[in-house]
Amino acid sequence: MALFRDQVVVLRLYPYRDRDRVVHTLSRERGRLGLLARGARSPRGALAPRLMVGNRLEVTYHRGPNASLGTLREVSLVTDHQGLQGDLDAFASLEVMAEVADHLAHEGSPEPALFDALCGGLVALEGGAARRGLVAYLVAALAATGLWGGGGRCEHCGRPWTEEIRELAGEGHALWCGRCAGERGSPFPVGLLLALTRIAAEGVDGRVVLTGEQEGRAIRWLTGRVEGQSRRRLKSVAFLDVL
Ligand SMILES: [Zn+2]
């Protein structure tokens, strides 16, 4: 069995047998990576506190050539989120970030841009502006996986915007011009699209400031695009009170 070393972020945890856990992670080198953590449910073990959703870890694991899971050997903590204690908004945002990465990542191929987007988003949570960090992360995660289409053109006919922009939920939340959409879909605010385009260019440290209402609208749209792509609901979004 081959031995691997990688940086990962914990995305989801599942109980397995009596004492073990299966850990879904996003790894820098291998995209979505499942790891078996032996003894991780033991309350006195050293593993449990390290294996929390959103924690960034340095791991060593064994994996056979045809195995679907690696087996964890060594885990060291790079960063955790103990500092968020009591900040429910930040925890809700953290859950959405992890679930979105779980939906978008592919197995077996490097995902450095998605990995960096996730790490950047998790760092932004610590700064007390969770929603802002979440919006910037969602834009970056969609860009990293080729799903950021919300730039300067209709996603149906490819013409630059000249009139109303409409969001088509049934077309994976694509943005179409009024001519293509007709009466279908719902209006999408031009100002918000411009702001998100700047956030896509400037990242989480940019100077664009959204209102709370704009943040909610952006999160609804961006998570809708993720769901349209993965064809699965994002359960964690229900915990954000933006809907
Ligand atoms: Zn069009």
225 Cα to the center of ligand 1, angstroms: 18
CATH of the domain at 230: 1.20.1440.120
Confidence of residue 242 (pLDDT cuts 50, 70, 90): low
pLDDT of residue 233: 93
Strand residue runs (E) in the chain: 2-16, 20-27, 31-37, 56-63, 70-79, 165-168, 174-177, 186-187
> How many whole angstroms separate alpha carbon 175 and alpha carbon 173?
7
Query: In terms of pLDDT, which residue wins out, 150 or 132?
Result: 132
Same domain for 51 and 119? no
% of the chain residues with pLDDT over 70: 98
Contact 101, 93 (CB under 8 A): no
Residue, of 173 and 152, whose pLDDT is higher = 173
Express each pLDDT in 163-220 by its tens digit.
899 999 999 999 999 999 999 999 999 999 999 999 999 887 788 999 999 999 999 9
Q: What is the mean pLDDT of the chain?
A: 92
The Å distance, Cα 181 to ligand 1 centre, comes to 7
Distance CA 74, CA 58 (A): 8
User: Which pLDDT belongs to residue 150?
Assistant: 66
Based on the domain organization, do 71 and 106 belong to the same domain?
no
Are the C-beta atoms of residues 210 and 132 closer than 8 Å to each other?
yes
Q: Say if residues 200 and 143 touch (Cβ distance below 8 Å).
A: yes
* Last residue within a domain, chosen from 52, 80, 108: 80
Tokens standing for residue 62: 């064994």
User: Is the same domain home to 166 and 98?
Assistant: yes
pLDDT at 40 exceeding the cut of 60: yes
The answer to whether residues 91 and 70 belong to one domain is no
3-state secondary structure of 33: strand
Q: Are residues 94 and 189 in the same domain?
A: yes
pLDDT confidence of residue 44: 81
**What residues are neighbours of ligand 1 (ion), with CB under 5 Å?**
154, 156-157, 177, 180
Pick the closest to residue 222 from 143, 117, 109, 130 (CA basis): 143
* Distance from Cα 190 to the centre of ligand 1, integer Å: 15
Closest CA to 170 of 191, 182, 184: 184
Give the helix ranges, DSSP H, for the chain. Answer: 88-104, 112-125, 130-144, 178-181, 190-202, 212-230
Residue 205, pLDDT score: 77
Q: Are residues 190 and 104 in the same domain?
A: yes
Q: Do 49 and 144 sit in the same domain of this protein?
A: no
191 CA distance to ligand 1 centroid (A)? 18
59 and 164 inside one domain: no
Are 68 and 91 members of one domain? no
* Residue 150 structure tokens: 């919300």
CA of 176 relative to ligand 1 center, distance in Å: 5
CA of 30 to the centre of ligand 1 (A): 37
Which residue range(s) make up the domain with 137?
85-239
Q: What is the rounded CA–CA span in Å between residue 137 and residue 218?
A: 12
Whether the pLDDT of residue 130 is over 80: the answer is yes
Examine the domain organization and report whether 23 and 112 are in the same domain.
no
Residue 112 predicted with pLDDT over 90: yes
Give distance in angstroms: CA of 101 to centre of ligand 1. Answer: 30
- Strand bridging mode 31-37 / 70-79: parallel
Q: Are 72 and 158 part of one and the same domain?
A: no
Structure tokens at 138: 């969602």
pTM metric for this prediction: 0.92
- Same-domain check for residues 192 and 151: yes
Write down the pLDDT at residue 243.
44
Residue predicted with more confidence, 126 or 167: 167
Q: Hey, what amino acid is at 90?
A: A
DSSP state of 46: S
From 48, 80, 112, the end of a domain falls on 80
Average pLDDT over residues 32-39: 95
The CATH number of residue 68's host domain is: 2.40.50.140
